[in-house]
Structure 1
Amino acid sequence: MRIVVFGANGLTGRLLTEQALAARHDVVAVTRRPADFPITHERLDVVEADVHDAPAVDRAIDGAHVVLSTLGVPFTRKPISVYSDGVRTIAAAMATHGIKRLAVVSSSATEPHYHADGGFLMNRVMQPLLTATIGKTTYADMRLMEELVRASDLEWTIMRPSGLFDAAGVTRYELHEDQAPGIFTSRADLAASLLEQAVNVRFVRKAVAVTTLEGAPTLFQMLRREAFKRG
């Protein structure tokens, strides 16, 4: 199977690329900076393209069977359009080439809800604060992306991770339609669950929450890690 990965040079995108190659798929890694992409493989094509560049996106997905998007940008208070603009361009190119299967990464915060595992701090303090301040423009554009995906005639799946953390490898994870009780998702598990959608039709035209079941940090460990992070 030939899989195109947008956002391939991000943390999740690199993991997804490695996992897809390990599963013996042919992979097209799409990135704005191909010289910085650290993975090489005989079944890998690294393609330079910006999702705002329709002809470049069209060339990147030509011949693909599945398109997976891990597009992402840092939080900012400025308006963001990369998610919505990106899916518009990708969906248009997919229509041109007759490609149907699309899975995109969004966030559980696009639809804020009570997390059974979150407690007071997560549910009443952190989630409302994040979605109303530094994450406001990000989640607004993710919601628009989700609306555009849902309105398409593609065989789409929207993946909604919760708080992302790094792990040594893929662990046990759960997939729940729309929402989940858990508050953490490892990037490795997110990549694995996204790759799963390339061959599994269980969640076609559905939104899926991804929750990691083992090795996740506590909320306080995550806060401490972020507080002491450098660079």
Structure 2
Amino acid sequence: MNIAVFGATGRTGRRVVRRSLDDGHHVTAVVRTPSKLDVNHDRLTVEQGDVTNYDSFADTLQGSDAVVSTIGKESVLGRVSLYSDGITNIIQAMTEHDVSRLIAISSGGTYPGWDSNNAVFYELLIKRVLLRRVYADMKRMEDIVVETDLDWTIVRPSGLSDDTGSGNYRATVGYSDPESSTTTRDDLAEFIVEELDSGQFLQQGVAVVTV
């Protein structure tokens, strides 16, 4: 499979790239700064492109079988539109090049209202104050994806961790899982690549947690 990965220089994106290569796939990493991607492989192509600038990357999707968006915003200050603007451009390029499979990383924080699976401090402080703008734009991204006819999967990890993956994770349709509030990036990458192969959660939003 030929997989295009956006956000490939991020902590999750790198893991998705490596896991995809380990599983025998061909990967096109679309990144703003190619020098930041410390992965070398004969099945890896690195293309410079900015997800917010359609013309900078659109043609890189030609020949792709699937797209994975791992884009993320480092700063939570000011207006946030990276997720919604980025996915709009990605979907336009996918449509132009007849690519139908999309996996986009979002968050359980997009749940509308109070999620009883989460801790009180998360619901009150993180979701409604610290990351309010980020989650609002992630929700806009999800709405844009859901309105398409693509074979999409929205992936909602819980608190992301750089700990070594256990390989023991659970995927449940929805926003969160009461069993765990943590998702290792290794386990998240494993789920994403396996989902590309299986298509188990087509046109569904799924919570992925390490248990």
Contact map agreement 2:166 2:210 (CA 8 A) in 1: no
Q: Quote the residue 1:114 is aligned against.
A: 116
Is contact 1:77–1:135 with CA below 8 Å preserved after alignment?
A: no
Percent identity over the alignment is 36
Code of the residue aligned with 2:193 in structure 1: it is L
Does 1:173 pair with 2:200? no
Amino acid at match of 1:175: A
Q: State how far apart, in whole Å, the 2-side matches of 1:127 and 1:183 are.
A: 12
Tell which deviates more after alignment, 146-155 or 194-203. Answer: 194-203
Deviations along 1:151-184, whole A, 9 cap, x unmatched?
0111100000000111224521000001321211
Q: Pick the aligned partner of 2:159 from 163, 183, 186.
A: 163
Indicate whether 1:88 and 2:108 are aligned: no
* 1:1-52 CA-partner distances (Å, limit 9, x unpaired): 1000000000000011000000010000111000121001000001100011
For 1:128 and 1:195, the matched residues in 2 are separated by 33
Q: Partners in 2 of 1:168 and 1:185 — Cα distance?
A: 10
Contact kept, 8 Å, 1:77 with 1:136, in 2: the verdict is no
User: Secondary structure, in 3 states, of the residue corresponding to 1:85?
Assistant: helix
In structure 2, how many angstroms separate the alpha carbons of the residues matched to 1:196 and 1:57? 26
Larger CA Rg, structure 1 vs 2: 1
1:205-220 paired onto structure 2 within 5 Å:
205-213=203-211
Q: How many residues align?
A: 207
- Partner Cα separation in structure 2 for residue 17 and residue 104 of structure 1: 14
Judge conservation of contact 1:4–1:64 (CA < 8 Å) in 2.
yes
In the alignment, what sits opposite 2:138? 142
Quick one: which amino acid aligns to residue 150 of structure 1? V
Q: Distance in 1 between matches of 2:10 and 2:137?
A: 18
Partner amino acid for 1:113? D
Counterpart position of 1:101: 101
Q: Select the residue among 176, 182, 206 that pairs with 1:184.
A: 182
Q: Distance in 2 between matches of 1:96 and 1:20?
A: 24
| CA deviation map 1:177-200 (0-9, x unaligned) | 013212110011111111122112
Q: Distance in 2 between matches of 1:197 and 1:171?
A: 14
The unaligned stretches of length 5 or more in structure 2 are: none
Matches within 5 A, 1:53-68: 53-68=53-68
CA distance in 2, matches of 1:75, 1:150: 26
Residue number in structure 2 paired with 1:76: 76
Distance 2:93 2:39 in 1: 25
The match for 2:2 is 2
For 1:140 and 1:75, how far apart are their aligned partners in 2?
14
d(CA) in 1 for partners of 2:79 and 2:57?
Answer: 23
Q: Distance in 1 between matches of 2:6 and 2:21?
A: 15
Partners of 1:97 and 1:151 in 2: CA distance: 19
Pairwise CA RMSD = 1.2
- 1:96 and 1:147 map into 2 onto residues whose CA distance is 20
Alignment CA distance shift 1:52-1:65 (3 Å): same
Q: Secondary structure of 1:45's match?
A: strand
Instruction: Calculate the TM-score normalised by the size of structure 2.
Output: 0.95
SS state of the match for residue 168, structure 1? coil
SS at match of 2:115: coil
